[in-house]
């Protein structure tokens, strides 16, 4: 197949603009003084989808850069159904090279989607567990703070410090009556 003159950047910009304005391939070929075949091929290479014009979609043009983000992720079952449909379609004889490439890309995308979907599910489980552990730690910290703020009463009018010795005994200097001023050490004889 003989190759023509390469497209300049200005020509590509002009082609994109004309296509975005909804011009037909025939009109673009007249404006740009290039064949309809070269216009179609360049549009395909630039990522534009070919649209079959019917009375219902006459004014509609689409490009591959338009992405429709779904509300919910498709399930793995839906992805497997698409995979099975693509594999079945590949069995048909007489497919064009473009259609075969499209189906193969769909098969590869389905496999990648399944892997990423599994990663996403694992990520969501880890994220949920981290949130649960964080909430539990905050709850325990608040409970411990309340316990630390509450004085411990060990007998009539006496408060004990939280400091303890290894054998469990407490020196007499750690015991003071509640009504005595803080800062004055009280010792008792045992």
Mean pLDDT of 104-132: 86
Could you tell me if 34 and 7 lie in one domain? yes
Could you tell me if 13 and 39 lie in one domain? yes
User: CA 167, CA 114: separation in Å to the nearest integer?
Assistant: 61
Containing domain of residue 29, as a range? 1-68
User: CA 163, CA 155: separation in Å to the nearest integer?
Assistant: 17
Burial class of residue 176, CB neighbours in 10 A (0-12, 13-18, 19+):
buried
Could you tell me if 127 and 92 lie in one domain? yes
Whether 189 is in a domain gets the answer no
DSSP string, 121-157: HHHHHHHHHHHHHHHHHHHHHHHHHHHHHSPPEEETT
- Stretch among 24-33, 101-110, 133-142, 156-165 having the lowest mean pLDDT: 156-165
Q: How many domains does the chain have?
A: 2
Give residue-wise pLDDT tens across range 155-170. Answer: 555 555 555 445 555 5
Give residue-wise pLDDT tens across range 54-107. Answer: 555 455 445 555 667 777 878 878 888 888 888 888 888 888 888 889 888 888
């Amino acid at each position: 197949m003989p190759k023509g003159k390469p497209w300049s950047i200005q020509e590509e910009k002009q082609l994109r603009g004309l296509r975005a304005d909804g011009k037909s391939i025939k009109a673009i070929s007249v404006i740009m003084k290039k064949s309809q075949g070269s216009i179609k091929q360049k549009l395909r290479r630039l990522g534009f989808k070919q649209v079959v014009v019917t009375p219902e979609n006459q004014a509609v043009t689409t490009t591959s850069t338009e992405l429709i983000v779904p509300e919910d992720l498709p399930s793995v079952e839906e992805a497997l159904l698409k995979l099975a449909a693509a594999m079945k379609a590949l069995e048909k004889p007489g497919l064009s090279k473009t259609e075969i490439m499209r189906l193969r890309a769909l098969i590869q995308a389905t496999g990648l989607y399944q892997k990423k979907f599994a990663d996403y599910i694992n990520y969501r489980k880890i994220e949920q567990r981290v949130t649960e552990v964080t909430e539990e730690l905050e709850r325990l910290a608040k409970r411990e703070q309340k316990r630390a703020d509450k004085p411990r009463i060990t007998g009539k009018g006496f408060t004990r410090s939280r400091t303890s010795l290894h054998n469990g005994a407490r020196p007499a200097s750690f015991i003071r009556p509640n009504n005595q001023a803080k800062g004055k050490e009280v010792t008792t004889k045992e």
